[in-house]
Structure 1
Amino acid sequence: MIIWVDADSCPKPVREIICRAAERTGVTARFVANRNIPLPKGNYRESVISDDADAHILAAVSQGDIVVTRDIPLAAKIVEREVCVMNDRGTRYTRENIGERLSVRDYMKELRESGAVLSSNDQFGMPERAAFAATFDRELTRLLARSSAQGQQQ
């Protein structure tokens, strides 16, 4: 299992939560970005610099991994592979909700391009941090348990 992070726009508090979880569980966290991303010191994290972070993650991700990204088109491709994917606000993307998320994204993009919407309120505070931490911990625990059960069956 690997925790993949589309790190270009990942808030620092989310990176810290992921790094602490990596240390606690021994699961590698790979932060992929087109620039160097500052990370806390530790043993279970790697910074990967790639001109195309999305393509790098998509090529390397496999079932049993977790992906954290704000990029909804990337999330849609990962959902197709039946890999756990969530955003930095704690929303887990699934086959049931990704189509709607893509539609809303495209609609908002059209509104921004037409000038109807000037900016978005994209604050990241304690409620968003708590929601991410809860979802991330739940999914990490679920996948670790599944991985452990599969290892015992073999």
Structure 2
Amino acid sequence: MQIFVDADATPAIAKTLIIKTALRCEVMSTFVANHPIRLPPSPFLANIVVAHGFDVADNYIINAVSKGDLVITNDIVLADAILAKSAKALSVHGEEFIADTIKSKLNARDFMDTMRATGLLNPNQMGKQARYGDKDKIAFANALNRLVR
């Protein structure tokens, strides 16, 4: 198993948990982003810097992932592509994406995009995303440990 991290949108706390898990379990973990990620020196940690652009990091991950690997992402479209490759996908909030529910999540995402595009849903009326807190950190750490074991 390898871990791939969609690192551009991953909170620093989650990155730290991934690093600690990779070192403790000696699991290769690759952080993919459009900028360098500071990582401690280790044969189990790598940073791939991709070009700026829409889905460049996602496409790198999709091409690199293999059956049984784990991808850390909040991107539902990326998670769907990962599941299609028989790999696992986990959000930084500790939610494991699974084949049984990913299509409904994609449909909900597409519906919200349509609502915003047609002006029926004003992005300014939506609530701000909650701060990444202790509840998220604990849920993510537990799920990550369970999936890596």
**TM bin (shorter chain):** 0.7 to 0.9
**Alignment partner of 1:54 is 2:30:** no
Q: Secondary structure in 2 aligned to 1:30?
A: strand
Report the AA paired with residue 16 of structure 2. E
Q: 2:85 aligns with which of 81, 97, 111?
A: 81
In the TM superposition, what are the counterparts of 1:120-139 in structure 2 within 5 Å? Answer: 120-122=127-129, 123-139=131-147
Q: 2:68 aligns with which of 64, 69, 87?
A: 64
Kindly provide the CA deviation profile for residues 33-68 of structure 1, in whole angstroms up to 9, marking residues without a partner as x. Answer: 1112233x1412111011211111101100121100
Partner of 1:152: none
Report the AA paired with residue 121 of structure 1. K
Indicate if the aligned counterparts of 1:23 and 1:42 stay in contact, CA closer than 8 A.
no
Change (3 A) 1:125 1:84: same
Kindly provide the CA deviation profile for residues 97-118 of structure 1, in whole angstroms up to 9, marking residues without a partner as x. Answer: 1011111111222333324342
**For 2:116 and 2:141, how far apart are their aligned partners in 1?**
30
Partner of 1:4: 4
Share of identical aligned residues, percent? 31
Kindly provide the CA deviation profile for residues 10-38 of structure 1, in whole angstroms up to 9, marking residues without a partner as x. Answer: 00000000000011011111000111223
**For 1:99 and 1:22, how far apart are their aligned partners in 2?**
30
The unaligned stretches of length 5 or more in structure 2 are none
Q: Which moved more, 1:110-119 or 1:51-60?
A: 110-119
The unaligned stretches of length 5 or more in structure 1 are 142-154
Partner of 2:22: 22
Please give the TM-score of this superposition, normalised by the length of structure 1. 0.85
Indicate if the aligned counterparts of 1:3 and 1:65 stay in contact, CA closer than 8 A.
yes
Q: How many residues align?
A: 140
Name the Cα RMSD after superposition: 1.4
Report the CA distance between 1:120 and its aligned residue. 4.2
In the TM superposition, what are the counterparts of 1:134-153 in structure 2 within 5 Å? Answer: 134-141=142-149
